[in-house]
Structure 1
Amino acid sequence: MGKLSDIPVIEEKKSARQPRLSSDIAGKVTETLGTGANAKDSIVYYTIKWAFIAGTIISVCVMINYCVYRDKVSDFTDDVKKIWEMVVPIITLALGYLFGKSQK
């Protein structure tokens, strides 16, 4: 084995145009949400979208559970009601922010 000093060293050439670490460089988040005011609106829309999707998926799972275990589960409507009692305030809050923001 050779010495550590025998390993060739690759020097990086510094160019005049080095990437800046600022908000104008598009990353994964900015590709999805956008930038500036658009990002704020996008987050609200994604919150509403995913709240509906999550509420619907969980409600469907509760209904399937009721169909499979009908003898062990008393009533699925109370469970579905509890799910949407959690989802609806999130949607209402997001819509309130979206419409309240435009009233300025």
Structure 2
Amino acid sequence: MSLQQIDQIISILNKQSKPYDWVMQEFAKVEELKNFDLDLETFELLGLGLTLNKDNIFTLKTRTTKIKDEIFCIVDIESTGGVSKGEILEIGAVKIQNSKEIGRFQS
């Protein structure tokens, strides 16, 4: 149920910006988020890019950012393949923005 709740909130924010109180009340209804102090940093860590303007209105960053300016992270995980006893052998990630590599990680 909670994933559906979050999807519904995101769907609404995708169409229009909402006041701070509305956003906080809606996310407070999600059982899995009740123990979190919800703020911009927490939303960012959850993968939900929001901006809060001077009028206390939340806007979904993807509504105002051109796709070429978005940052994407491509991750490659190599493992032994076993579901229950598999081990991660190596992790690699590349950050891309505007068709250019802006960061890289590998273990």
Q: TM-score, normalised by structure 2?
A: 0.21
Higher relative contact order (CA 8 A, sep 6+): 1
- Structure number with greater Rg is 1
Q: TM-score, normalised by structure 1?
A: 0.22
* Greater fraction of residues in strand: 2
